[in-house]
C-alpha cells in the first residue's frame, strides 16, 4: 500500500506525488516496487536490504540518496507478543520515501499526532528525527504492556508452575533482547545523523535532545525490565529445582520405610529353620514386627523432617 502525505497543519493525504511530500509504502506490491525502482530510481540493493527482517540500523549515502534503516517495534503475529522490524527511509532533494514490509501502527499514530500538534515536515532529516522519536515512544508503550504480561505470568506461577507460564516468560525474554539490540542500534544511528554535513546546520537541537532522552529512557527501561525478568526466571528455576528435591526426598523416605517390612519378611521367608516356622501365630508376629519397625522409621523420619 502506498500513500502520499503533504504539509498542512500536520501531514495530510494527497492523491499523487508532490514535491517535498512523504511517500509511505507498506507491504509493497509488485507494481509499487516497480514504481519505486523504475520511476523514483531508488537503489535496488537497499530495497532488498529492507526486506531482511534482521537488518541493523544504519545510514549510507549513495549517488545523492540518503539511505537510512531504523528499527521500530510492532505487535508480532508469531508466538512472540512483540518484535522489531526495519523501517527503510530513502530521501534525495524533494523525494522522501519510507518503506516497510509489515504494517506499522506507529506510522498511523504518528500521522494523527501531527494533526493534533500541527507538526509539519521542515526538511528530510527533521522527519527522520521525528520518526525516531515516535519509535522511542512506542518502545516505551510496548514495554509497559510487557511489564503487565510479566506481572500476569508471575501471578499464574504463584498458583502453579506450568510449562505454559514459563514459556510465556521465555517469549517475553526474547522480546526484551530484540528491544535492547534495536534501541542500541537506533542510538548509534542518531549520533551519525547528528554529524551529517549537508544537514548539520538545519537540525533542530531541541528535537535531537528529545530523541536522545526518549532513547535513553527506553534503553534504561528495557534494562530494568530485563533484570527483573532474569531475576524472576532464576527464582522460579530455583523453586522448580527445590520442589523436585522435596519430591525426591519424600519418595526416597517412603521407599526406605516400605523396605523395612520387605527385609523382615525376606528373613522369615527363607527356606531355613527359624523360631516361628511351627508357630500358629508366626505370620501375625512377623506382621507386628514389620509394623513396629516401620512405625519407628516413620517417627524417626518425621523428627528429621525428611517427610
How confident is the model over 159-176, as a mean pLDDT? 76
**234 and 251 inside one domain:** no
**212 and 257 inside one domain:** no
Q: Is residue 162 scored above 80 in pLDDT? A: no
**214 and 264 inside one domain:** no
Domain carrying residue 256: 243-303
How far apart CA 289 and CA 260 sit, in angstroms, is 10
Q: Which residue has the higher pLDDT, 156 or 173?
A: 173
Q: According to the model, what pLDDT value does residue 37 have?
A: 86
**199 and 107 inside one domain:** yes
How confident is the model over 101-127, as a mean pLDDT? 84
Question: pLDDT, tens digit, for every residue of 129-141?
Answer: 888 888 999 989 9
**69 and 140 inside one domain:** yes
Q: Which one, of 13, 193, 11, 168, lies nearest residue 89 by Cα?
A: 193
**236 and 251 inside one domain:** no
Q: Helix (H) and strand (E) counts for the chain?
A: 7, 7
Mean pLDDT (the chain) is 82
Boundary-marking domain end, from 227, 242, 257? 242
* Long-range contacts, 110-118 (Cβ 8 Å, 24+): 110/134, 111/5, 111/10, 111/11, 114/10, 114/11, 115/9, 115/10, 115/11, 115/12, 116/10, 117/10, 118/9, 118/10
- DSSP code of 166? H
How confident is the model over 209-234, as a mean pLDDT? 85
**223 and 273 inside one domain:** no
How confident is the model over 210-222, as a mean pLDDT? 88
Q: Is residue 113 scored above 80 in pLDDT? A: yes
**233 and 250 inside one domain:** no
- DSSP code of 206? H
In the chain, DSSP assigns E strands to: 2-7, 11-14, 22-26, 58-62, 65-75, 82-92, 95-100
Q: In CATH, what number is assigned to the domain containing residue 16?
A: 3.30.460.20
Q: Is residue 271 scored above 70 in pLDDT? A: no
Region label for 84, one of left (φ > 0), alpha (ψ between -120 and 50) or beta (otherwise): beta
Confidence of residue 196 (pLDDT cuts 50, 70, 90): confident
Q: In CATH, what number is assigned to the domain containing residue 279?
A: 1.20.58
Domain total of the chain:
2
How far apart CA 277 and CA 222 sit, in angstroms, is 77
Q: According to the model, what pLDDT value does residue 158 have?
A: 66
Q: Which residue has the higher pLDDT, 31 or 161?
A: 31
Boundary-marking domain end, from 225, 242, 259? 242
Q: According to the model, what pLDDT value does residue 161 have?
A: 64
Q: Which residue has the higher pLDDT, 52 or 153?
A: 52
Confidence of residue 176 (pLDDT cuts 50, 70, 90): confident
Confidence of residue 5 (pLDDT cuts 50, 70, 90): confident
**204 and 267 inside one domain:** no
Q: Is residue 248 scored above 80 in pLDDT? A: yes
Question: pLDDT, tens digit, for every residue of 24-43?
Answer: 889 888 888 888 888 888 88
Q: What percentage of the chain reaches a pLDDT higher than 90?
A: 2
Q: Which residue has the higher pLDDT, 118 or 27?
A: 27
Confidence of residue 281 (pLDDT cuts 50, 70, 90): confident
**217 and 268 inside one domain:** no
Boundary-marking domain end, from 202, 225, 242? 242
How confident is the model over 103-112, as a mean pLDDT? 86
In 76-206, DSSP assigns E strands to: 82-92, 95-100
**171 and 93 inside one domain:** yes
**283 and 183 inside one domain:** no
Q: Is residue 91 scored above 80 in pLDDT? A: yes
How confident is the model over 160-174, as a mean pLDDT? 75
- 232 Cβ contact partners less than 8 Å away, ≥ 6 residues apart: 150, 154, 169
Amino acid at each position: 500500500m502506498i500513500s502520499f502525505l503533504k504539509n498542512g497543519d500536520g501531514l495530510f493525504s494527497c492523491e499523487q506525488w508532490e514535491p517535498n511530500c512523504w511517500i509511505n509504502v507498506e507491504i509493497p506490491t509488485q507494481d509499487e516496487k516497480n514504481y519505486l525502482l523504475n520511476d523514483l530510481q531508488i537503489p535496488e540493493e537497499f530495497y532488498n536490504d529492507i526486506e531482511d527482517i534482521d537488518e541493523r540500523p544504519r545510514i549510507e549515502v549513495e549517488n545523492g540518496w540518503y539511505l537510512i534503516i531504523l528499527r521500530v517495534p510492532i505487535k508480532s503475529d508469531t508466538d512472540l507478543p512483540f518484535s522489531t522490524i526495519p523501517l527503510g527511509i530513502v530521501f534525495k532533494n524533494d523525494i522522501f520515501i519510507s518503506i516497510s514490509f509489515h504494517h506499522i501502527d506507529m506510522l498511523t499514530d504518528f500521522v494523527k499526532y501531527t494533526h493534533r500538534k500541527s507538526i509539519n515536515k521542515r526538511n528530510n532529516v527533521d522527519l527522520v528525527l521525528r520518526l525516531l522519536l515516535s519509535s522511542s515512544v512506542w518502545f516505551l508503550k510496548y514495554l509497559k504492556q510487557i511489564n503487565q504480561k510479566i506481572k500476569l505470568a508471575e501471578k499464574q506461577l504463584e498458583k502453579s508452575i506450568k510449562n505454559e507460564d514459563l514459556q510465556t516468560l521465555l517469549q517475553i525474554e526474547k522480546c526484551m533482547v530484540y528491544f535492547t539490540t534495536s534501541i542500541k542500534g537506533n542510538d548509534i544511528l542518531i549520533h551519525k545523523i547528528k554529524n551529517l554535513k549537508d544537514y548539520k546546520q538545519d537540525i533542530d537541537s531541541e528535537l535531537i535532545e528529545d530523541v536522545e532522552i526518549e532513547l535513553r529512557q527506553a534503553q534504561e527501561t528495557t534494562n530494568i525490565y530485563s533484570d527483573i525478568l532474569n531475576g524472576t526466571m532464576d527464582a522460579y528455576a530455583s523453586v522448580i529445582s527445590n520442589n523436585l528435591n522435596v519430591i525426591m526426598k519424600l519418595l526416597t523416605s517412603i521407599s526406605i520405610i516400605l523396605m523395612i517390612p520387605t527385609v523382615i519378611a525376606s528373613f522369615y521367608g527363607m527356606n531355613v529353620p527359624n523360631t516361628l516356622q511351627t508357630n500358629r501365630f508366626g505370620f501375625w508376629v512377623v506382621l507386628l514386627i514389620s509394623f513396629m519397625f516401620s512405625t519407628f522409621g516413620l517417627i524417626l523420619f518425621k523428627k528429621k523432617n525428611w517427610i
